[in-house]
Structures are given as C-alpha cells and as structure tokens.
A and B are shown apart, each in its own frame.
Chain A
Amino acid sequence: MMLIDCPYCGERAQAEFTYERTLDSIVSLDMPVEEVLARLFSRANPRGEDRELWRHTFGCRQWLVLRRHRRTHAIAAVDPYAPDDPE
C-alpha cells in the first residue's frame, strides 16, 4: 500500500487513488488511426520507472502524474496533470 503525496491533499494512502494509464497511452481525438491504435494497444511496460496517470478518485478527484518505479514502488515525483506534459 503505497503512500502517494497528492499535490493538492498531501500524503494519502494508495487506496484513495486509481491508476488510469501510462502517459504515453493518452490518445487525443484528432490523432490518426495508426497512432491511436499504437498508443492504445501497446505499452513499454518497463521493469523500472514509467510515467503514469493516476486519479485521486476517493479524494480531490484530480488527475496526477506519477513517476514511479514498478519493481520497488518508489515514487520519484507526483505532479498535477498538465496537458502539455512532454511524454
């Protein structure tokens, strides 16, 4: 049970949050079909760090970007989601 430092609420238990997807699998509505399919249906799925979109669903309901290590669960950063985030 990780501890996630919500930029809006402070440190909260993981149970309040839901994982949505990796940042690189966000699909905008004007992307060409090939890119949409590639983004929706493939993941780097690293045994290390990735950038993930989470939501503080049972808290402030804001969307957050976690830089998180998938083997150690170490969270390097939690930031508010910003649409122009470089992937």
Chain B
Amino acid sequence: MKRYSAMALLRAGLTGQRGWERAWRDPEPKPHYEVIVIGGGGHGLSTAYYLAKVHGVRSVAVLERGWIGGGNTGRNTTIVRSNYRQKPLHDLFDFALGLWEGMSDALNYNVMFSPRGALFLGHSDADMTQLAQRGDALRCSGIDAELMTPDAVHRLVPLLDMSPDARFPIHGGLIQRRGGTARHDAVAWGYARAADAQGVDVIQNCEVTGLVMAGGRVTGVETTRGTIGAGRVGICVAGNSGPVAAMAGLKLPIEAQTLQAFVTEPVKPMIDTVVMSQSLHCYISQSDKGGIVLGGDPDQFPSYAQRGLPIRLEKAAAEAIALVPALSRLRMVRCWSGTTDMSFDGSPIISALPVDGLYLNGGWCYGGFKATPGSGWCYAHLLATGESHPLAAPFSFDRFATGATIDEAGVGFMPQLR
C-alpha cells in the first residue's frame, strides 16, 4: 500500500497526480475463504480489517451486492458518540469511540473524525434530571459527560433560541466532548483500502443469493459470481438482515424501516457542535462542506423503499427551526433514506445464529454508524474465535427469548415506537 501523507500529496502535485495506485483491488472471488463477510458497508469492511489485522485471519472476502459503503454507511448523519444510558451500550460504543480517535492514523486514511462535541439539549427540569442520570451512568463507567447550564449551552451554540417562552425552552444540556462527526464514505473507503492491504478480498457487484449448507452447517455462499466456500459466514447487512437470514430459514427480531435525513445548501460556519435533544427526535450538525445536516423521526412502518414520508422531513424542519430560528431561510438541497434494521429492543445483535457456521451482525436500528469500528472489532473476534467478545456478549441473538433485552428507550419490542 502506497502510504498517504502531506509529502506524498506534494510530490504527486508535481507529477500531475499520476502516481496514486488503486485504493483497493478488484479481485475475482476465490473458490474458498476461511471467513466470508456478507456486506461491504463500514461494519463488514472493518470486520474484515480486524480479522486480518488483529486475528491474523487473512483468507477473508467481503462480498458486496453493489458498491462498498452504499447502504447505511453512506446514508446517515455521521454522528459519532457513546453517551447511551445503558451500560452494555455505552461500553460497546465507547470502545468504538476509542477506535474512532485513532482511526485516520491506523488506516492511513483521513476519515475526518472531528470531536466537536455531541450536545443533548434539555427542555425541562425533568429532561435535565434524565440527562443528569445518563451523565452519571456514563461518568461511573469512565466515559466523559458534562452537564451544561443554559448560559454555557448558549455560548457553545449562539444561534439557539434561548427565550423562556420558546416552544422547547432550553434548560441546559449534556455534552460529550469526545463525540462529533466523521466523513461517512471515507470510513468505508479507508477500511476497504486497509483491509485490502492486509490481503482481504473486497468484492463488489457480488450479490449473495443463497447459502450452501452441508450437514446442518453453512459451508459457503451462492453468489451472482458463483459459489464460494467458507469456514464461517458472517452476515453484516444491516437494513437487509431479514432477507439474508431467510436464506438460512431464520426469522429475526428485526424489522426494516425507513429513516430519512437531509442537508441544506452549504453556508459559512454557524453551528459548531452536534446538537440533539432529550425530548425531540431532532439532530443538527454542520458538515465541513458547510451544509446543515438534519435528521428526524423514523417512518414508523416497515419499508425497504428507501423513500420516506415527506411529513417526517417537514416535522424535522419545524423542530430544527424551533431550536435554531436562523435555519428558516436555509434550503434543503438533498434528502436521503436509509433502511434501518430495527431490532426489537433497540440494541444491535452481534451473535452466533442457531445455524452452525453462521453469524449475525445487525439490528443497529438508527445508530450503527457510530459503532462501526467497535462493531467490526467485536464481530471479527466472534468470527475468528467462535466466542463472543466480552463487550458484545450481552448483544446475543437469544436475549429476546430469555428476557435479557437491552432497551435504551424502554418502549419494548415494537420497532415503530422507537
């Protein structure tokens, strides 16, 4: 792998940018791999990278139906944080956050992780108590969390409507300063390039159409580019887990649902921090390019259409303007939809499945992007050793049957209520 650096860029500038090599190869599938990862999103690619890098498993293929990073990796709001209330969640996501902090260097690819702070606003004393509780749980786990007064919030985000009679008055906030944003596409590309350099085959335009079973065990996959054998097969296709699991005759505690987000035309810096809300499903950040990225409510019914309800976007705009009135004249330039893998307790599944040799990483609901490196790390551990990584052990497939669910929102098993 030709290393990227400022010097390399300067040298290339003098030679017409001719010297760069392909970021990743375009290999033909081999007949057999030790591990096949189905799904070339950030999670699948990071899994492959850590399989090779951490566990020395280099006979790995990532099979991607279309182009890498084309699913939810490229359809989110790029927010990275770990400040969940429930311990199994914040432990997993904070491990991921630690990996985010060194990701650009580790991959030699600038993923533009920018810890500009992830701020939750509280709109009542009750909100503030909830935020304090969350912050206390985090601090007791050694994770940074800081309550902010309304004044401090105002200094950080001067365009917020701080008036006491605002529809959602701002009573303060909880900030995770290590949280922030990253460049989503770069995460897929960076992992693909680094995994490729470790010998992993990243195979695009290769759709898995069936599983090869022998003696009750998965021994490979059927694809649009032929049959490929494998020691272990890891499903990593959040947003499409149901149809892939169905190839093994499995039904999952997962339902697909649409979540939309949108971005405005670029403007000069106006919001420097990721702004979210304790009681609204509204999140606001500004990209490096200058667009204000906004997200809102999921569509609350099952869908794979990647086409959402306009009224959800309109509500998100209304809430965003209520919080930041100056957004009124900015213009949405593009909206997009992801198909979220809504699990039945709101938490992911990183687990062996009831079919030998088959594993699942999915159910990330609308929070998978921020977990990318931690998800890949834990899934690689599972695929390499057959044992769950301790951080991923609570996220088992059987927790719904046993009752050990991890329900951050406390709303139960109906995904549309989440």
Contacts and interface: CB of A to CB of B under 8 A. Distances in A.
10 contacts: A15-B311, A19-B416, A37-B400, A42-B251, A43-B251, A44-B242, A45-B243, A45-B251, A45-B252, A47-B242
Contacts, number: 69
Given A73-B303, A73-B305, A45 B401 contact: no
B246 interface: yes
Nearest to A24: B251
A40 interface: yes
A42 to B, nearest CB: 4
Contacts of A18: 300, 416
Interface string A37-72: 100111111110010100000000000000000111
Interface of A: 1, 14-15, 18-19, 21-22, 37, 40-47, 50, 52, 70-73
Interface residues of B, number: 27
A19 B300 contact: yes
Contacts of B9: none
B243 A41 contact: no
Interface of B: 240-243, 246, 251-256, 300-305, 307, 309-311, 344, 400-401, 413-414, 416
Given A42-B253, A46-B243, A21 B414 contact: yes
Contacts of A15: 309, 311
A56 to B, nearest CB: 14
Nearest to B304: A71
Contacts of B310: 1
Given A15-B309, A70-B302, 8 more contacts: A1-B309, A15-B311, A18-B416, A19-B300, A41-B253, A43-B242, A44-B246, A45-B251
A2 B307 CA distance: 11
Contacts of B400: 37, 40-41
A17 B31 CA distance: 50
Given A18-B300, A37-B400, A41-B400, A46 B305 contact: no
A55 B390 CA distance: 42
B413 A46 contact: no
B313 to A, nearest CB: 11
Contacts of B246: 44-46
Contact of B254 (A14, A21, A43, A47): A43
Q: Which of A44, A45, A47 lies at the interface centre, i.e. has the most chain B CB atoms within 10 A of its CB?
A: A45
Contacts of B303: 70-71, 73
A73 B306 CA distance: 11
A44 B250 CA distance: 8
A46 B301 contact: no
B302 A45 contact: yes
Contact of A45 (B254, B301, B309, B414): B254
B311 A42 contact: no
A52 B302 contact: yes
A14 to B, nearest CB: 7
B242 A46 contact: yes
Nearest to B416: A19
Given A19-B416, A41-B344, A1 B311 contact: yes
B302 A50 contact: yes
Contact of A37 (B301, B302, B401, B416): B401
A37 to B, nearest CB: 5
A45 B246 CA distance: 9
A44 B243 CA distance: 8
